Structure 1
Amino acid sequence: MSERPTIEFDHHTPEFGQDAPAKFAELRATCPMGFTEAHDGYWVASTYENARRILSDPENFTVEKSADGLRGGKLIPTAPHAPAIIPGSLDGPAHDRLRKPLRNLFAKRNIEQKVAPIARAAADRLLDELVGKPEFDVAQEFSFRLTVATISEFVGLASGEIGDPEKVVLMLEDAFAIDPEAGGNRDALAARTADKFAEVRELVGQVVRARKAEPRDDLVTAMVDPRTGLTEDEVIDLALSMLLGGVRTTAASMDNIVLYLAEHPDLRRELVEDPAKIPDAVEELTRLAAVTPLVARTAVTDQAFGDVHVKAGDRVAALICSANRDEERFPGAEEVKLGRKDGLHLAFGVGMHYCLGIWLAHMELRVAVEAVLRRIPDYEVVADRVRRYGLVGVNNGFSALPVRPRP
């Protein structure tokens, strides 16, 4: 193998997600660490071993942007005009200082006690509106709205103080340059949205100051406690980051699960008959969907992957959607095996950047599947009108997922 094996690869093309399992299996077998010239050049780590190594070693592979903001970050290409999503855009002590006050708030026990009732109520409210219709769009009318309702109330931004949370989240996706349809043009979208982002940021600042005066049972109130050591600006930025981060990936996972269960009626029937199996199904289907297909790092030092040599400053992408289907780690990787014991998949990351909201996401997905299978256990997906995002390199989700409830 040469020091710089070259591959044709661009995750911001319509072809990226087509025949993905077969393409990624070939990539893992023939070039587990390959270099593409797309987007100024980056390495693609397609095996579980290589992807996990990159994600779990912040000393040698940093998530941070360069000082001028023109290189680095979690996504390729970099979006210099986008604000940072914290604490995930930081490494080391700066990351740990911001994450520490949030750990207990996002712990499984707190999520189940305080947030699960919010999610269940939102799911029931939405399905009350939808199950009587001959047809509805799960992506637009259920999963997105459920995740927005849950995270906005949990954070403390659901009362109308910042406007319509659903519209705010859509704006934030543009401002933070993670709009799932923007592809490689994300930075231009972030620049155009900067003024609207500044307006919302000021509204969130007003909420933060209001919680100092009149505390409530929400995350903003917890974060403004002086014992956290967080500044007002940090609380604002964390609140916005959590509002943004708590929606699209979970909603996309929800949509992928709804579609998979429609296409695999035996598994759906098994879950209807024994809802206790739903958490295991959620775990496996989250692994398969890998709704964030790829995340990036920048090499801090020269690194060797066998005969392949990555140089300091090179951009490196962990191809999660391939790593999660690596037969070396997950035997029978294309199958859903309830109770699989093959170890940690990478859909929620690994190491210090392991997703802060993992228990929130697991809970919402479980609650959503329980509600859907209880209320419409025999739904039918309108297959010819299902529409995945045209570009799935940032989010493997759906712009349309119509279903028909059946008696």
Structure 2
Amino acid sequence: MPSQDRPRIAFDHHTPEFGQDTAATTARLRGSCPMGFTDAHDGYWVASTYEHARRVLSDTDNFTVEKSADGQRGGKLIPTAPHAPAILPGALDGPAHDRLRKPLRSVFAKRSIEQNVAPIARRVADELLGGLVGRDEFDVAHAFSFRLTVATISEFVGLDELAEPEKFILMLEDAFAIDPEAGGDRDALAASTSRQFAEASDLVRDVVRRRAADPRDDLVSHMVDPSSGLTEDEVVNLSLSMLLGGVRTTAASMDNIVLHLGTHPDLRRSLVEDPSLIPAAVEEMTRLASVTPLVARTAVTDQDFGDVHVEAGDRVAALICSANRDEDRFPDAEQVRLDRRGGLHLAFGVGTHYCLGIWLAHMELRVAVEAILRRMPDYEVVLDRVRRYSLVGVNNGFAALPVRPNV
């Protein structure tokens, strides 16, 4: 399709306007132009329906997550950040991806997470809330969700001995170009932190070598075992990727759940009275939050979406926050339905790149909700001081989420 014939939309996920009323904006897209082209960030297609978004994410033969050889195009996010290190194994396709993911599957399996990591998360959640519920007010985003996810993933991976792990994570977010509010300046941020990233890699390499000599019960020790087939460099890169991937999206999902329950007292009361409903509620609220609003692929071959023709080399964004509210897939999409069945949402991806840490995230969210509703069931969100990130194109999270425990 000649470029002038492409169905055009005015769309840029790295603007404050995108986050102001995302549900209404994406509903208009689904209804008027389910596959539209925007000129923002050198141009990309936006797949806004569930059908189109799932196709883009699941068809790895025709849509690749990998960057070009020079690093200037491609990748999981838009715009591309050439200076950012690759987040593994998700930045790869095909056999290279599968070889790195295979040794990790058993450790991230649901049974393993529940047996080995859930006790960590419960302990950390109780410790954090023990120091918070007596206050008149505290910020959930900074004092609970972020700290819970950092502590849990650090101990699980085996990097909890690093000094100031929370600052370490914030530096990694800059280096990997996924700082929530970096917007279209992601690559400049990655370039500016390259020295710190090199130093961080050296610190992790020291831990990797110590685990090779004296294994512990953690992910690094599992990866350095010769049976994994992983090189030292791969273990270092995977450790950093796992550490990074296990924090911000889960913390943002946690915050969105806290806000939703704080503004839906009937649902909250139901969960307090019957905690067995929490897993289903978490699943639905995770769908609604869609904390990673979109992820990108690059077309490998020409592809048709109805009357719309996507050419090889075109960038395509799967608009997850729109797909997860598509009424054709999710009847009463704006509602939390605890009896919803057969509605696989895309918050954790789909297909080959389905989130490796899905059971870790599910467990942490469930544990957090259980702890909060047990320790402060009548909490109140201070709505007039809630602030989402000014830019939510990478992460639909919160700069501030104050609550009053009311214990």
Query: Which bracket does the TM-score occupy, shorter chain normalised?
Result: over 0.9
How far apart are 1:182 and its partner, in Å? 0.4
Equivalent residue, structure 2, for 1:268: 268
Distance in 1 between the 2:381 and 2:402 partners?
6
CA displacement, residues 108-142 of structure 1 (integer Å, 9 cap, x when unaligned): 00000000000000000000110000000000000
Residue type matched to 1:72 in 2? G
Distance in 2 between the 1:219 and 1:403 partners?
34
Distance in 2 between the 1:335 and 1:175 partners?
37
> SS state of the match for residue 103, structure 1?
helix
Distance in 2 between the 1:400 and 1:86 partners?
30
Residue type matched to 2:183 in 1? G
Distance in 1 between the 2:90 and 2:5 partners?
31
Equivalent residue, structure 1, for 2:109: 107
Equivalent residue, structure 2, for 1:379: 379
Residue type matched to 2:231 in 1? T
Q: Does residue 98 of structure 2 align to residue 96 of structure 1?
A: yes
Mapping for residues 98-247 of structure 1, pairs under 5 Å: 98-159=100-161, 162-247=162-247
Distance in 1 between the 2:25 and 2:382 partners?
27
How far apart are 1:25 and its partner, in Å? 1.1
Residue type matched to 1:171 in 2? M
Distance in 2 between the 1:77 and 1:25 partners?
24
Distance in 2 between the 1:164 and 1:405 partners?
27
> SS state of the match for residue 37, structure 2?
strand
Equivalent residue, structure 2, for 1:42: 44
Question: Are 1:131 and 1:375, in contact at CA under 8 Å, matched by a contact in 2?
Answer: yes
Question: Are 1:330 and 1:342, in contact at CA under 8 Å, matched by a contact in 2?
Answer: no
Distance in 1 between the 2:5 and 2:253 partners?
37
CA displacement, residues 46-95 of structure 1 (integer Å, 9 cap, x when unaligned): 00000000000111000000000000000000000000000000000000
How far apart are 1:276 and its partner, in Å? 0.3
Question: Are 1:33 and 1:43, in contact at CA under 8 Å, matched by a contact in 2?
Answer: yes
Q: What 5-or-longer segments of structure 1 have no aligned partner? A: none
Count of matched residue pairs: 405
Taking only aligned residues, the RMSD between alpha carbons, in angstroms, comes to 0.9
Question: Are 1:3 and 1:309, in contact at CA under 8 Å, matched by a contact in 2?
Answer: no
How far apart are 1:3 and its partner, in Å? 4.8
Mapping for residues 55-66 of structure 1, pairs under 5 Å: 55-66=57-68
How far apart are 1:26 and its partner, in Å? 1.3
> SS state of the match for residue 105, structure 1?
helix
Equivalent residue, structure 1, for 2:394: 394
Could you tell me which of 14, 17, 20 is aligned with 1:18? 20
Distance in 2 between the 1:362 and 1:211 partners?
28
Distance in 1 between the 2:339 and 2:75 partners?
35
Q: Does residue 365 of structure 2 align to residue 362 of structure 1?
A: no
How far apart are 1:342 and its partner, in Å? 3.2
Distance in 2 between the 1:3 and 1:359 partners?
44
CA displacement, residues 192-232 of structure 1 (integer Å, 9 cap, x when unaligned): 10000100100100100000111100000000000110000
How far apart are 1:354 and its partner, in Å? 0.1
Q: Does residue 6 of structure 2 align to residue 4 of structure 1?
A: yes
Distance in 2 between the 1:292 and 1:263 partners?
22
Return structure 1 stretches of 4+ with deviation > 6 angstroms: none
Question: Are 1:3 and 1:308, in contact at CA under 8 Å, matched by a contact in 2?
Answer: no
Residue type matched to 2:309 in 1? H
> SS state of the match for residue 131, structure 2?
helix
Distance in 1 between the 2:335 and 2:46 partners?
25
Residue type matched to 2:182 in 1? A
Question: Are 1:329 and 1:342, in contact at CA under 8 Å, matched by a contact in 2?
Answer: no
CA displacement, residues 134-161 of structure 1 (integer Å, 9 cap, x when unaligned): 00000000000000000000000002xx
Distance in 2 between the 1:240 and 1:28 partners?
37
Residue type matched to 1:107 in 2? A
Q: What 5-or-longer segments of structure 2 have no aligned partner? A: none
How far apart are 1:17 and its partner, in Å? 1.6
Equivalent residue, structure 2, for 1:324: 324
Distance in 2 between the 1:339 and 1:237 partners?
40
TM-score, with structure 2 as normaliser: 0.99
CA displacement, residues 287-337 of structure 1 (integer Å, 9 cap, x when unaligned): 000000000000000000000000000000000000000000001100100
CA displacement, residues 255-308 of structure 1 (integer Å, 9 cap, x when unaligned): 000000000000000000000000000000000000000000000000000000
> SS state of the match for residue 36, structure 2?
strand
Distance in 2 between the 1:9 and 1:25 partners?
13
Residue type matched to 1:292 in 2? T
Distance in 1 between the 2:390 and 2:121 partners?
29
Distance in 2 between the 1:259 and 1:381 partners?
7
Question: Are 1:112 and 1:363, in contact at CA under 8 Å, matched by a contact in 2?
Answer: yes
Residue type matched to 1:278 in 2? I
Q: Does residue 333 of structure 2 align to residue 333 of structure 1?
A: yes
> SS state of the match for residue 46, structure 2?
strand
Identity of aligned residues (%): 79
Equivalent residue, structure 2, for 1:313: 313
Residue type matched to 2:399 in 1? S
> SS state of the match for residue 309, structure 1?
strand
Greater CA drift, 356-365 or 20-29: 20-29
TM-score, with structure 1 as normaliser: 0.99
How far apart are 1:343 and its partner, in Å? 2.2
